[in-house]
């Protein structure tokens, strides 16, 4: 007689428990770390904003309407700068260089187009970082984007002869002599450190300013020096 088989015993499935993560505890140390990080970001962000503002050209309120002509390349424009000054305005330019500062009294009553051109370029930072590529015993010259004496802003200026005498501290524009062109350069300017050699200039160089202070800085300039900035004051 066969024996009855014992009933098989099923093993109860193991209980599956849902695993839950412990809630993050935001303690005092965590908050202090986050606060310190936020302060660091704020300080560095603020310093960057201030640095941007420091290097951004500062345009005086009376010259706020002085916009450049259309720019078609690095420091190159489609044509001359629009007129935005009047011959009766009292204008000075403070030129900061690696040798110090000097101040130019501008002469819009003598060369209005040239002074207007210089002012518009200056307040938009055109001359910043340019080298004094020429430095001789009687003259220094800058304003060339290429730094070799052959460049300019893409246009020339009309002759403005005036009648202001040349001499120590006189500021004028260079001339272009290439490719059959003989005209006043649109951005290169020079400063007399001594009397003009021989009998003086034989062409028009648009004498548009006079150094009234800081001549010692001008005398010290060499071809290793650069323009840091040019700011314009209106009185």
**Domain for residue 220, yes or no?**
yes
How far is 81 from 84, CA to CA, in rounded Å?
9
**Domain for residue 56, yes or no?**
no
CATH assignment of the domain containing 157: 2.40.100.10
**Domain for residue 193, yes or no?**
yes
DSSP letter string over 97-158?
ETTEEEEEEE-TTT-HHHHHHHHHHHHTTTTTT-B--EE-SSEEEE--TTSSSS--SS-EE-
**Domain for residue 26, yes or no?**
no
**Tens digits of pLDDT across the chain (235 residues):** 444 444 445 444 444 344 444 444 556 666 666 666 666 555 455 544 444 444 566 798 999 999 999 999 999 999 999 999 999 999 999 999 999 999 999 999 999 999 999 999 999 999 999 999 999 999 999 999 999 999 999 999 999 999 999 999 999 999 998 888 899 999 999 999 999 999 899 999 999 999 999 999 999 999 999 999 999 999 8
Domain extent, residue 109, equals 63-234
**Domain for residue 41, yes or no?**
no
Domain count for the chain, please give it.
1
């Amino acid at each position: 007689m066969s024996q009855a088989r014992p009933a098989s015993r099923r093993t109860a499935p193991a209980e599956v428990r849902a695993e839950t993560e412990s809630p993050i505890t935001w303690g005092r140390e965590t908050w202090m770390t986050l606060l310190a990080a936020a302060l660091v970001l704020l300080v560095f962000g603020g310093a960057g904003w201030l640095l941007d503002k420091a290097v951004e050209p500062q345009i005086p309120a009376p010259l706020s309407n002085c916009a450049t002509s259309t720019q078609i390349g690095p420091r190159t424009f489609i044509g001359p700068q629009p007129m935005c000054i009047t011959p009766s305005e009292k204008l000075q330019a403070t030129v900061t260089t690696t040798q110090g500062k000097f101040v130019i009294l501008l002469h819009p009553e003598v060369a209005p187009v040239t002074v207007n051109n210089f002012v518009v370029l200056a307040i938009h930072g055109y001359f910043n970082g340019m080298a004094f590529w020429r430095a001789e015993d009687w003259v220094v010259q800058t304003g060339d984007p290429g730094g070799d004496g052959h460049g300019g802003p893409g246009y020339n200026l009309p002759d403005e002869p005036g009648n202001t005498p040349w001499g120590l501290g006189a500021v004028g524009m260079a001339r272009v002599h290439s490719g059959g062109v003989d005209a006043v350069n649109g951005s290169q300017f020079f400063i007399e450190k001594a009397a003009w050699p021989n009998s003086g200039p034989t062409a028009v160089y648009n004498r548009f300013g006079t150094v009234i202070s800081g001549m010692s800085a001008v005398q010290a300039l060499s071809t290793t020096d650069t323009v840091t900035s040019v700011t314009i004051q209106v009185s």
